[in-house]
Amino acid sequence: MRPTQAAFPATRLRRLRSTPAIRKLVQETTLTPGDFIWPVFVRDGTGVVEPIASMPGVNRLSVDKVVEAAKEAYSLGIPSICLFPYTDPSLKTEDCAEAWNPDNLSNRATRAIKDAVPEIAVMTDVALDPYNINGHDGFVEDGKIVNDRTVEALVKQALSQAEAGADIIGPSDMMDGRIGALRQALEAEGHENVLLLSYAAKFASAFYGPFRDAVGASGALKGDKKTYQMEPGNSDEAMRLIERDLREGADMVMVKPGMPYLDICRRAKDMFGAPTFAYQVSGEYAMLAGASERGWVDGEKVMLESLTAFKRAGCDGILTYFAPAASKILNG
């Protein structure tokens, strides 16, 4: 749609910007705590709040502290919390069996949150990298990341998460065919209301660096993830992936990273109209939080501006480490 407008001075677009009241009236997109999914890092222990050096302000939390975080999120109006486990290196193996252990860290945290704050939607991560001795999201055979055997393992992992009470399952692995396999397994096992938020268009990005520190996967990773995550220059391929995942049974789709990929978000929303999310990833957080720490940018302002940009680009919601800080400001 092209707006029609008279020529100057009949049209003076600055009239619409002349006071805070008028600006508020014509603001096209707004941000609320209801737009956020808050990713949190879980570790073993009790009473542990362990700072992550490359993500100032973000901590690894033991299960009891994650429960406190979930309560805080709920009271701030944040609808969902997303769990990422920091797995003890001794539990990382080639067969990744810890991924579907009913009592692994992620499942223990899910049960504890659902016990204490059942109203909050718990999202969990499906991928083998936290449990894999070589840091990849799939099994490695002869130096190659194998697809179909990985999908079978992802199904076991997702079912253990659904059993623990996960509301939203987020496959972040980028294997082919996993959404269909997960949807079928969830239906067969009586989990027909468990949602799938597919990391459908996930790019092979250097912006994931601080996350890999946070979950302890940096040291482990051999090589890169380019045979399964996308080439940053591609956009048509992102649309094919999103269409495929929606057809296989994804309820919601995600673009990741966020800020450098807002064109993909807009295109996806326009093309499919499905619930569309973006992940403002660890490196994006680190840039903003790090520059703010040094006094180079106004931290609060760049946080809210960056999050508003996702809404403007068509996103229904945002996974962001800023969720509690932004919500506190938005709630006044």
Taking CB under 6 A as the rule, does residue 35 contact ligand PBG? no
* Beta bridge partner(s), residue 21: none
Residue 170 beta carbon to ligand PBG: minimum distance, rounded to whole angstroms: 8
Q: From the candidates 65, 92, 202, 225, which is the catalytic residue? A: 202
Q: Which is nearer to ligand PBG, 117 or 283 (CB)?
A: 283
Q: Which is nearer to ligand PBG, 98 or 137 (CB)?
A: 137
Q: Which is nearer to ligand PBG, 88 or 224 (CB)?
A: 224
Build a one-symbol-per-residue string for 107-126: x at contacts with ligand PBG by CB under 6 A, - elsewhere.
------------------x-
Q: From the candidates 225, 256, 269, 311, which is the catalytic residue? A: 256
C-alpha of 75 from chain center: 21
Q: Which is nearer to ligand PBG, 117 or 157 (CB)?
A: 157
Catalytic annotation present for 269: no
Answer for which of 35, 98, 137, 167 binds ligand PBG (CB under 6 A) is 137
Catalytic annotation present for 256: yes
Build a one-symbol-per-residue string for 266-305: x at contacts with ligand PBG by CB under 6 A, - elsewhere.
---------------xx-----------------------
Answer for which of 74, 211, 261, 310 binds ligand PBG (CB under 6 A) is 211
CB-closest chain residue to ligand PBG: 211
Answer for which of 100, 203, 208, 261 binds ligand PBG (CB under 6 A) is 208
Q: Which is nearer to ligand PBG, 197 or 281 (CB)?
A: 281
Plot region of 8 (φ>0 → left; ψ -120 to 50 → alpha; else → beta): beta
Residue 224 beta carbon to ligand PBG: minimum distance, rounded to whole angstroms: 9
Which residue ranges make up the site for ligand PBG (CB under 6 A)?
Answer: 125, 127, 129, 137, 172, 208, 211-212, 225, 281-282
**Residues with active-site annotation:** 202, 256
